[in-house]
Structure 1
Amino acid sequence: MTTAPGTAPPASRIALYEAEFAADPHTAYAAMRLAYGPLVPVDLAPGVPATLVIGYDQARRILNDELRFPADPRVWEQAVPDTCPVRPMMEYRPNALRSAGPAHSRYRAANASALDAVDQHRLHALVQRVVVKTIAEFHSAGRADLLAQFAWPLSFRILSALLGCPDELGLRIANGMAKIFDGVNAAAGNQMLAQAVSELVALRRSQPAEDITSRLIADPARLDDTEMAHQLVTLYGAGIEPLTNLITNTLLKILTDEDFSATVHSAGASVREVLDTVLYRDPPLANYSITYPPQPVHLDGILLPAHQPVVISMAACNNDPALEGGGSGDRAHLSWSTGPHACPARSLAYLIAETTVTDLLDALPEMDLDCPADELTWRPGPFHRALTRLPVRFPAPTAA
């Protein structure tokens, strides 16, 4: 990547995998703008260069330009070792996230059809049942880590139910996906994930049911076993870690932000408003929607190299000061991406997160953060915005 005159040299890449970046990304984004403008040279892991897009207009142009910015990484990954911690999050898979052209359209249509068939009334009832069950597991203690004891198990249970996945198998899938997101033992996590989703495909081919996996198998796209496995990788990847982070980030906002902490309980603000605020400011996938230009691309005076990842920072783009008036206004935030990269599960994710947070606040209205807010830490990683824990306290039920 070459930079415009007067900006910092390309050798001074920003490391997105450090704990310092995870702790305060918005300060880092502000420094990036001063040094580089909307297109920033970064490292996603040691020795893995990329361009981070922090300008809203540039991001929209890239996300809607499949010809110059396709999502197929196969040339890029030829030079990336299997041991690279971010490779499992970025490598080629026969799914909509990592393909282009007719293959992308085929995979996306199959996934959208399977997701659109989810009955949202039944999903709402499922979420409410799972919330009650999950709260009951820690309610008597008067304390809980809402990340480990609430948001993660809840997201896991709901997604496994939607996909028709038995708990034991789903737990292996979720653990493999967590290793991939964290970049710790990512290769082992990738193997664990591949084996488990293959078993789920075999189960639902032999025992179809009313679930997303069975609908994908029956889709006119006639996905083979390998393709099916990778559709499930995408669904689990989008359905557990990001949803867990969205729920916990929203709860943190309610617990610590005076603009919301009182008004949500008094109905002065809705949980949906808090969700959207979090999606603008700290979306769970802060930096993603990765593309790999097959040819060098000149964009706003910057040369983007061929076959080097171009990563959209949804967090930075949503808060781009170049946007007229600032704030959210009427513009669409990029947390669900846009164009051919737009998330087909958006309405389902909103329903799950909104119902989950609302029902938790109804069940535990006197809940408070159980540590100083400045003691909370964020998991390092170039892609997600994820707390390490969210401890709370609340009045334990008294014996009758």
Structure 2
Amino acid sequence: MQSHSEFQGPPPGCPAHADGRRTPLHGPEFAADPAAFYEALRQHGPSAPVELAPGVEAELVTDYAAALHVLQNPDTFARDSRHWRALNEGCVPLDSPVLPMMMYRPNCLFSDGADHMRLRQSVTASLARVDTHRLSRHVDRVAAYLISQFSSRGRVDLVADYAQLLPLLVFNDLFGCPAEIGDRLVFGISGIFDGVDAEKANEVLTEALLELVALKRRSPGEDITSWLMEHPSALSDEEMVHQLVTLIAAGTEPTQNIIASALRLLLTDEKYVGDQSAAGLLVDDAINDVLWNSPPIANYGVHYPVHDMELGGAKLPAGEPVVISFAAANADPNLSTGRQVLSKRAHLAWGAGPHACPAKDPALLVSVLAIEKLLNTLPDIDLALPAESLTWRPGPFHRALEVLPARFTPVRPERRPSAVRATGGHMTENTPRQDRGNEVSRGKWWSSFLSWWKV
């Protein structure tokens, strides 16, 4: 990834950072202890001025009630980032690492009103057609495949070798990807999230999805891509590609962070360690713990006031990004006295209002099954280093572990994946962390899985 010094600053005359009072949500300090940052930000009131990246400023909502107000009032707080005044005025660095997550795309995430309803209905209707039994079987197959790649070693990084890959391979099946397109999809989305040759990764991802759309126009199947095409919304090819990008991002990044963070709790937290009497309930409880206390997407849901207004005393200019801190809102001290009576689902990890995540049920199912498969296959798995030494990926939006090294008694893999050895997909414990990330994003994981499953 680029260093901060490589980012282009705001053009002369732009007011960005003129006062120097905005709290930065980028860098290792924020990643190491975001709760301390949220606590300090609460001194400003329900929201506070922050810097998402060098040259990109926003207002961060840390209050639960204020967050709900923003999320549930789309007529006042728009999602269409074409309202973003600083970007329109040329005050946002065009090479900013947060721009791909905030720039306008013709999909349901960045639309409002009738456009949002049309696009959202195509997504929800297509997701509703996913057969949970088929999804469960496929998660089991993908989990077995990934575990077979490291089960004989006795050591594994549960982030790079399991949590990051599993949702991608599951979604390849849901989208109906053939082997070659699926390999490029894995490369593209992994590169964008990891910051590894992101420009090339975005190009590969876009080309792969365009080919997938063209393929499904010719030969539709029983998959989400085809169902999106069949919907009465009559999506264009451009809309199809951007809907698929949103579904991939929403289905993979949060899910892999849930899996990794819940495994961290199950392997280290005294509430969960050593109690095997109710393993299934423990997984559900650990995931709920993550969604409340360490939501996988910590800060996002970017909105833009359609006119100058106030929120809890803070003045919000029209067109300034208003970011919802799902993590800070969940930890709002005002909830502490009544939190015991709140529903387990009262957290804001999935958002709220018209833009609430439409894929939360499949994401939860994938997370639960992936964790249960791992723990049932490797029952003595344990963390390979002290929990306090674990580190988190820098960035304003996600809450994601860098690595989760674990050890266990080596076991014979379920099948011998000879095809994987031929493609170079197998990783050894001695492979450097950075190189292993490149190998994950560049390896032919989808075609290797398909070959492995046919053995």
Alignment TM class, shorter chain as reference: over 0.9
2:82 counterpart residue number: 74
Residues of 2 paired with 1:93 and 1:116: CA distance?
Answer: 23
Is the Cα contact below 8 Å between 1:38 and 1:58 reproduced in 2?
A: yes
1:96 counterpart residue number: 108
Q: Which amino acid aligns with 2:59?
A: T
For residues 242-284 of structure 1, give each alpha carbon's deviation from its aligned partner in whole angstroms, at most 9, with x where no partner exists: 2111100110011111011223x22174311110110101111
Aligned residues: 389
1:24 counterpart residue number: 33
Give 1:222-371 correspondences, 5 Å limit. 222-263=234-275, 265-267=276-278, 269-325=281-337, 327=339, 329-331=341-343, 332-371=346-385
Residues of 1 paired with 2:263 and 2:336: CA distance?
Answer: 29
Residues of 2 paired with 1:128 and 1:23: CA distance?
Answer: 33
1:187, distance to aligned residue in structure 2 (A): 4.3
Residues of 1 paired with 2:327 and 2:183: CA distance?
Answer: 30
Are 1:43 and 2:55 an aligned pair? no
Give 1:132-171 correspondences, 5 Å limit. 132-171=144-183
1:172, distance to aligned residue in structure 2 (A): 2.9
Structure 1 residues 117 and 155, CA, compared in 2 at 3 Å: closer, same or farther?
Answer: same
Q: TM-score, normalised by structure 2?
A: 0.82
Structure 1 residues 284 and 49, CA, compared in 2 at 3 Å: closer, same or farther?
Answer: same
1:359, distance to aligned residue in structure 2 (A): 1.4
For residues 156-210 of structure 1, give each alpha carbon's deviation from its aligned partner in whole angstroms, at most 9, with x where no partner exists: 1101101112344234334433444456654444333322221221121112110
Residues of 2 paired with 1:181 and 1:63: CA distance?
Answer: 25
- Give 1:110's match in structure 2, choosing from 106, 122, 132: 122
Local SS of the residue matching 1:214: helix
**Structural RMSD (CA):** 1.9
Is the Cα contact below 8 Å between 1:216 and 1:223 reproduced in 2?
A: yes
1:5 counterpart residue number: none
Q: Percent of pairs identical after alignment?
A: 47
Structure 1, unaligned stretches of length 5 or more?
1-8
Per mean C-alpha deviation after superposition, the further-off stretch among 80-89 and 179-188 is 179-188
Structure 1 residues 297 and 368, CA, compared in 2 at 3 Å: closer, same or farther?
Answer: same
Q: Which amino acid aligns with 1:266?
A: S
1:122, distance to aligned residue in structure 2 (A): 1.4
Is the Cα contact below 8 Å between 1:178 and 1:241 reproduced in 2?
A: no
Q: TM-score, normalised by structure 1?
A: 0.93
For residues 91-118 of structure 1, give each alpha carbon's deviation from its aligned partner in whole angstroms, at most 9, with x where no partner exists: 1111111011100011100000000000
Local SS of the residue matching 2:232: coil
Is the Cα contact below 8 Å between 2:45 and 2:314 reproduced in 1?
A: no
Are 1:55 and 2:63 an aligned pair? yes
Is the Cα contact below 8 Å between 1:130 and 1:154 reproduced in 2?
A: yes
2:401 counterpart residue number: 387
Residues of 1 paired with 2:184 and 2:71: CA distance?
Answer: 33
Are 1:204 and 2:216 an aligned pair? yes
Structure 1 residues 59 and 362, CA, compared in 2 at 3 Å: closer, same or farther?
Answer: same
1:6 counterpart residue number: none
Is the Cα contact below 8 Å between 2:155 and 2:405 reproduced in 1?
A: yes
Local SS of the residue matching 1:336: coil
1:37, distance to aligned residue in structure 2 (A): 2.1
Local SS of the residue matching 1:92: coil
2:418 counterpart residue number: none
Residues of 1 paired with 2:106 and 2:336: CA distance?
Answer: 39
